[in-house]
Amino acid sequence: MNTVPVSTAIADTFAAHLDALAAADPARAMLIDPDGAVSAAELRARAAALAAGLSRLGLQPGQRVAIWLPNCAAWVESFLACARLGALALAVNTRFRALEVADILGRGKADWLIFWPGFKGIDFQGILDEVPAEALARLRGVIAIDAAHGRMNDAAPAAPTTLDAPAAATGRHALPRHRYAELRACADAPPPAQANAGVLCFTTSGTTSKPKFVLHDQRTLLAHGAAVARAFGYGLATRVLASAPFCGAFGFSTLVSGLAQGAPVVCSPVFDAAASAREIREHAVTHTYANNEALTGIMRAAAPGDLASARLFGFASFTPALDGMLELAREQDVPLTGLYGSSELQALAAGQPTTPARGDVSARLLPGGALVHPEARVRARDPDSGAVLPLGQSGELEIRSPSLMLGYLDNPEATARAFTDDGYFKTGDLGYALSEQQFVFQARMGDSLRLAGFLVNPAEIEQVVESLPGVRACQVVGATRADKTVPYAFVLLQPGARADAAGWTAACKAVMAGFKVPAGFTALDAFPSIESANSVKIQKHRLREMAEALLATP
């Protein structure tokens, strides 16, 4: 595939970048959703018109707009309009309910809300009714997508003109509600584009505490998209499938890699593995990035020839003990590579190399990767001594990269704690460096185990347990017994299997050092988990609490 060099002089703002794309090739498709293709010229015009409509409402630079939408053209248009106006977009997952929405609207200090009342039959109005009044106090109005907006929402009711206020005792006031389609049809001249500034906030997963708001500016987002396009070989024929929600770093980095290159991005409001396989065939998709569960689903659902256009599919391993992905990829000739990223670094910050020119290809199917920015650097630090470790030794990964966040919104103390004195981000991840630009991710530091003086990746133990009779999946955590940390295993059983703690213990002793053998086994119906924008994440802290209680019981 002939690649097209991405300009090193990437624009500072999305408005300037859209201007350049529309001038260079106005008819080129930029987005493809169920309503059809949106060209570069159309996307530029829609974003400018929406910005004009929002400006007429009174939206000012520096105000904050919560975007509570699925993957669709309206999400992209809303973000681009915010960027033009100098407003800050707060990305909200459509799976969130009253507690999470209240947190983002309240702590995020949202001035405006853009949402889709009829999406997937979800009672978004009911969810908003359950949001405490104090979380809505700053809102000036809401913008609703209704039946007039495209085929995707034919069944949605027309949007009322105000957000209904519950009983007066709640202290709420009626909020003006505006129709998205009318704002996007605004004929006013668009306001001048604002200069580069903070434009997008992701929320961290918040599995153990309240999520933090991760702030990125326009220049950094665009430059990262261009770096991803270079690193993963985008060219004239590149088409990208957005398999993850735009509201999370994974999905947004996929989107911006296409926007930065001028490569069409295929998206759907709801992920469906079989539909994604058909879209890959229909639109000749070359690249997609997803968690291993989603990619496995796509490959299992694909008919012969559906994935023939694949040039590189990247994966992040979020779902434990998911078998078959690598075998399916080999059978269907799908090129795979492991990925790494975070809200703070942006997703796709690293991908394992597919050619020796970019690094050690033997690590291709391991999480982690070669950093996509040539000037980025990685190292591992011993969490106990504080010493920077030699290559190959496991410690906390620290990364310095042009893709790094501006900081945590409204939280300078947390921002300061997240960085070393020389500008490296403390990832909180366990791993080891293969070079100053390539590394292998092993686990979250909070999930790693210090056993008998050795730092142990729990995945090492989990893989052994998952090979035992009757075990479908395993999660290993550390717990205290007699003032020492010991591993404890929670398992999911194969259908019809029965727990065999004694047999499993004996089998582990035969193949592992004694300090790695789980001190106990407990079978669960499911692992405790929480949904993030990218996946369902297992709550290890709850498993640790359960293990502590079990070991404390005589």
Measured CA to CA, the distance from residue 190 to residue 359 in angstroms comes to 46
Structure tokens of 36? 């059809």
Closest CA relative to residue 347, chosen from 279, 268, 288, 299:
288
pTM: 0.84
How far does CA 263 lie from the centroid of its chain?
20
C-alpha to C-alpha distance for 195 and 361, rounded to whole angstroms: 41
Angle formed at CA 427 by CA 374 and CA 80, multiple of 5 degrees: 65
Contact between 265 and 256 under an 8 Å Cβ cutoff? The reply is no
Instruction: List 313's β-bridge partners, or say none.
Output: 288, 336
User: Is-contact 85 191, C-beta < 8 A?
Assistant: yes
**Cα(358)–Cα(360) distance, rounded to whole angstroms?**
7
Per-residue confidence (pLDDT) for residue 211, from 0 to 100: 86
**Cα–Cα dist 431/440, whole Å:** 5
How far the first Cα of the chain sits from its last, in Å, is: 64
List 213's β-bridge partners, or say none.
Answer: 203
Quick check: 257 and 240 in contact, CB under 8 A?
yes
> Measured over all CA atoms, what is the biggest interatomic distance in the chain, rounded to whole angstroms?
75
Tally helices (H) and strands (E) across the chain.
16, 29
The pLDDT of residue 234:
96
According to the model, what pLDDT value does residue 174 have? 79
Among 154, 174, 156, which residue's Cα sits nearest to residue 165? 174
Q: Could you say which residues of the chain have pLDDT below 50?
A: 1-8, 148-170, 207-208, 320-321
Could you give the domains of the chain?
A: 16-29+38-195 (3.40.50.980), 448-552 (3.30.300.30)
The string of pLDDT tens digits covering residues 446-499 is 777 878 767 787 888 998 999 999 999 999 999 988 878 899 999 999 999 999
- Region at 434 (left for phi over 0; alpha for psi -120 to 50; beta for the rest): alpha
DSSP 26-55: TTSEEEEETTEEEEHHHHHHHHHHHHHHHH
Torsion over CA: 148, 149, 152, 156 (sign): negative
Structure token pair of residue 550: 């079990």
Which of 259, 338, 253 shows the shortest CA–CA distance to 295? 338
Structure tokens at 523: 């079978």
CA distance 130 to 59: 26
Q: How far is CA 546 from the centre of its chain?
A: 28
Q: What is the number of other CB atoms lying within 10 angstroms of the CB of residue 469? A: 11
